[in-house]
Amino acid sequence: MRIDPQRSLVVVEVRRAGALARLGHDHVVASHDVEGFLALAEGRADMYVALDRLAVDEPALRSEAGFDTQPTSDAVAGTRRNMLEKVLGTERFPFALIRVARADAGRPDLSVAITLHGATRAFEIPAQIETLPRGIAVSGRMTFKQTDFGIAPFSVFGGALRVEDRLDLRFRILATEIGNRPHTGDSHCRPISSTIEQKCTT
C-alpha cells in the first residue's frame, strides 16, 4: 500500500513558556505531505516527511487545537523561518524518517522509530486502525521532547520567552492499495535524497 499524502495529516502543537510567555503565541505545525509505503501483511510501514514543506498556524488547525488567536501573516512567516533554519536545520536535515511496526499482534500499539535532526528515538504509541475500501487508516497521538533529538527549543530574551520542550503530536495516516499495473521492465524509482534510499514501484 502507498501512503496517500492528500488524505493524511500530521499535526504538532507547540506551546510557549517562560516569564514573558504572554507576549508570544502557541503554534500548530502540520504536514500534508507524508509519503511512503505500508506492508500490511508484514505489519510495517516506512514513511518520510519533507520538513521544508511544513505548514505553520493554519487557521482551521489552530481552532481545532483550541487556540483563540491568529498570528499575523508576517509573524507566521517569521515563526516558520526560525523553525526551519534555527531549530530543525533543514539544510542539513531535510527529512523526518518514520519506521513503524506492530508492537504485538494482539494489540493495536505501534513501535515507532523516528529519525529527526540526525537522531533516532523509539516510541510505543497506542493507535486506532480502521479498515477502508481499498485502504486502511491509522490514527493516534504521542508526546515527545525536542531535546530527545538534540534540538534546542527556540528561545529569546535569555529564555524569558521560549518554546516548551514537550510537543504534542497527532496523526491520521491513510494508505491505499497500489493498483496492479503491467510490468514493463522500467524502474519507477524516485530518489528522495542522498541520505535516503530510493523508493521504487513497478
- With beta carbons less than 8 A apart as the criterion, state whether 25 and 52 touch: no
H-run or E-run covering 138: strand 135-145
* Cell numbers 534555527: residue: 86
pLDDT at 105: 61
Q: Kindly report, residue by residue over 46-86, the tens digit of the pLDDT.
A: 999 999 999 999 999 999 999 988 999 999 999 999 999 99
Q: What percent of the chain has pLDDT over 90?
A: 68
> 164 phi and psi, to 5 degrees?
-60, 145
Helix (H) or strand (E) holding 61: helix 59-64
Give the pLDDT band of residue 21 (cuts 50, 70, 90): confident
More confident residue, 146 or 103: 146
**Average confidence (pLDDT) over 186-196:** 41
Higher-pLDDT residue of 197 and 100 is 100
107 vs 101, 130, 160, CA distance in Å? 12, 14, 43
- How confident is the model at residue 25, as a pLDDT? 87
Percent of the chain with pLDDT over 70: 85
Class of CATH domain 2-201: mainly beta
Closest CA to 3 of 41, 27, 39, 42: 39
Domain boundaries, the chain: 2-201
C-alpha 85/C-alpha 87 separation (Å) is 6
What is the rounded end-to-end Cα distance, in angstroms, of the chain?
A: 13
What is the reported pLDDT for 188?
A: 39
DSSP string, 143-171: EEEGGGGTPPPPEEGGGTEEE-SEEEEEE
The pLDDT assigned to 195 comes to: 40
Rounded to two decimals, the pTM is 0.82
Geometric angle at alpha carbon 65, from 63 and 66, rounded to 5°? 65
Angle at 166 between CA 161 and CA 167, to 5 degrees: 105
Determine the residue type at 189: C
Give the C-alpha separation, 9 to 35, whole Å: 11
Q: Taking the mean position of all CA atoms in its chain, how far away is CA 154?
A: 19
| pLDDT tens-digit map of 107-165 | 678 999 999 999 999 999 999 999 998 899 999 999 999 999 999 999 888 889 889 99
